[in-house]
A and B are shown apart, each in its own frame.
Chain A
Amino acid sequence: MASNPNTYRNQPDERGHFGDYGGRYVAETLMPLVLDLEREYRAAQADPEFQAQFDDLLEHYVGRPSPLYFAERLTEALGGAQVWFKRDELNHTGAHKINNCIGQILLAIRMGKTRIIAETGAGQHGVATATVCARFGLPCVIYMGAEDVRRQSPNVFRMKLLGAEVVPVTSGRGTLKDAMNEGLRDWVANVHDTFYIIGTAAGPHPYPELVRDFQSVIGKEARVQMQDRIGRLPDLLVAAIGGGSNALGLFHPFLDDPDVKMLGVEAAGHGLDGDEHAASLLGGFPGVLHGNKTYLLQDEDGQITEGHSISAGLDYPGIGPEHAWLKDTGRVEYTAITDEEALEAFQLLCRTEGIIPALEPSHAIAAVAKRATEMPKDSVILANLCGRGDKDIFTVAERLGVEM
């Protein structure tokens, strides 16, 4: 158990550690690059011009601020706490991923990099990266597991339309973590001209910090919007967690509000009692992968095991290191939702609110449904609707036994 700090918002330390987690566990070839990136990020943070450009693009290109929406019929159906949604699925490209990509491509340009690489699982981060590369005219290579390329062909086509080169990764087992390995291999061989846009709040320092900061626009907006609409902060924040960037983006601006409770929702897949889940925090152990120390799905020898979730965006055997720290400190509670529960919540939101959510936030919605019924009617839950479900209709149809 970490000591109880006066603030939860001053992490990481100067070495990039969130308590025992995070850090810079990378090969020596990459160390000078991550140190460069940290220097440049510090300079950008102190540069009002950078912030102004970021804000301008978020407003006019991404479409921020995203609405804060009271889900009246869902609230009625659940019969407990009021349920509100932060509508980040209405962003350009349909998910929160674009917030981070805007920030990172501005950093890349600032550093004089001329080539962008990224990894993607379901393809949302790949599409967001390809989008900002098209917007700024930079060549873009997206690494994607061969199996995911097959399953997510609409997103592959989107990336190609946007001018990206999509490289199917067949090394290892051809999954998201293998795509990340391949991204790191590319980066180490192209250190001088290439910027790696990591898609979640993980990887070597300063990535977990800067991705969190770029995504924190979600929580900053939500604080102001909540005050405007109901004159107070919510009682409970809920967000789904794969790597954890949308959750940190929502949570971080509220971490020092002691009355605001927080719930992170991992993917329980077929259930936490077996091996078929992607719940690194609830079903994993601390270890080192992809540049940071964090909770990992691994065996007793430290070999990484494959996550499973109906949602390809949650299907990663690690988790951002700040979540590992927030779990150990007890500031954020973590739970897990199964494939079945997420599917039910997906359909519930479609029918009650006319919103087709992505399978990732469907996990959050399922957790909201459980909690809302246990809370008084004057309490307020705010959940992040971090992506829209267009990309998932084929998966859902298959699971519901519908032929399309």
Chain B
Amino acid sequence: MTRLSNAFSKPHPALVCFVTAGDGDTAANLDALVEGGADVIELGMPFTDPMADGPAIQNANLRSLGAGTTTADVLRIARKFRERHPEVPLVLMGYANPMIRRGPDWFANAAKEAGADGVICVDIPPEEDDALGPQLREAGIAPIRLATPTTDAKRLPQVLEGSEGFLYYVSVAGITGKQQAAQTSIEEAVARLKAATDLPIAVGFGVRTPEQAGAIAEVADGVVVGSALIELVGEHGSDAPEKLRELTASLAKAVHSAAKGAA
């Protein structure tokens, strides 16, 4: 069992929490997420051009880069997290260019050495898997793919081929942190995905409240929350950990009390 598969084998659905590395006191923020009950951590790698992200995560990227965050800093944050939390799965999420800048082998090995369990690269679709996928698999890191409302039945097998860890269902055609998808469309989509794969399905984009998260957890294996947490980091700075702990705890309560596999 890997850390990721363990997280999705718990008796309850998983809460996946995203924050951007280097935005605020990231170590304290990450600890707050774990203390609040997050089952999986997504650590955002800042990029100058986060073209799939809405204002909240864009601003987090700018704050982080403005504070001078480097790739070495991101990997150091991950490594320290791994030392403090040996069992909590950690996924690096970001865009292709910072990941492949020193070569895909370098990045895969560095991510492994930092204790990462998976990598989500927003702008490497299955068609360009060669750019990073083989090197991640070789290093034993799960390449986690995204499926979206535009991923039709014909295309889905290609997305699933080579996907590991879990499948991240992007519930709206759009950018992060904006509108939320209708519950019925999420239910239909998750059912469609579950019919095609045994990978756990985590649903994200536009999930902000415990009510939404709880409803999604009724049908999915995991719920991803990002922008709502990032906004707390932006608003509260050094006081963010306390706020993050509170929101994560209420999200975790809703997600963990949902009936697993009700779909």
Contacts and interface: CB of A to CB of B under 8 A. Distances in A.
Given A31-B127, A287-B97, A288-B123, 9 more contacts: A25-B123, A26-B125, A28-B146, A28-B150, A28-B170, A29-B150, A31-B155, A188-B52, A288-B131
A296 interface: yes
Contacts of A289: 49, 97
Given A287-B101, A303-B48, A28 B62 contact: no
Interface stretch (A44-52, A122-130, A177-185, A395-403): A177-185
A31 B125 contact: yes
A177 B50 CA distance: 11
A96 interface: no
B261 interface: no
Interface in B177-232: 178
Contacts, number: 118
Contact of A287 (B100, B152, B173): B100
Contacts of B48: 172, 303-304
A302 B62 CA distance: 15
A298 B49 CA distance: 11
Interface string B49-71: 11110110010001001000011
Interface string A201-217: 00000000000000000
Majority secondary structure of chain A interface residues (helix, strand, loop or mixed): mixed
Interface in A3-61: 15, 23-33, 35
Contacts of B148: 27-29
- Which 8 pairs show the lowest CB-CB distances between chains A and B? A302-B101, A189-B174, A302-B98, A288-B96, A302-B97, A29-B148, A181-B51, A28-B146
Interface residues of A, number: 37
A293 B95 CA distance: 13
B52 A23 contact: no
Majority secondary structure of chain B interface residues (helix, strand, loop or mixed): loop
A376 B122 CA distance: 53
B150 A191 contact: yes
A25 B122 CA distance: 9
5 contacts: A24-B127, A25-B125, A27-B125, A32-B152, A288-B100
A300 interface: yes
A341 B145 CA distance: 48
Contacts of A25: 96, 123-125, 128, 131
Interface in A185-234: 185, 188-189, 191
A379 interface: no
B149 interface: yes
B51, B70, B99, B152: most-surrounded residue (chain A CB, <10 A): B51
Contacts of B147: 28
B51 A303 contact: no
A32 B49 CA distance: 22
B81 interface: no
A291 interface: yes
B55 to A, nearest CB: 7
Given A15-B127, A189-B173, A29 B149 contact: yes
B51 A184 contact: yes
Nearest to A17: B128
B159 interface: yes
Nearest to B172: A189
A301 interface: yes
Interface in B241-260: none
A154 B237 CA distance: 42
A28, A32, A177, A189: most-surrounded residue (chain B CB, <10 A): A28
A114 interface: no
A189 B97 contact: no
A27 B95 CA distance: 10
A352 interface: no
Interface string B144-180: 0111111110010001000000000010011100100
B47 interface: yes
Nearest to A189: B174
A32 B98 CA distance: 25
Interface string A278-289: 000000000111
A298 B101 contact: yes
B70 A301 contact: yes
A290 interface: yes
B218 to A, nearest CB: 25
Contact of A181 (B49, B65, B97): B49
A171 interface: yes
Contacts of A180: 51
Contacts of B151: 28, 31-32
A290 B95 CA distance: 11
A177 B123 contact: no
Contacts of A177: 49
A177 B47 CA distance: 13
Nearest to A31: B125
Interface string A65-99: 00000000000000000000000000000000000
B147 to A, nearest CB: 7
A217 B243 CA distance: 60
Contacts of A296: 97
Nearest to B145: A28
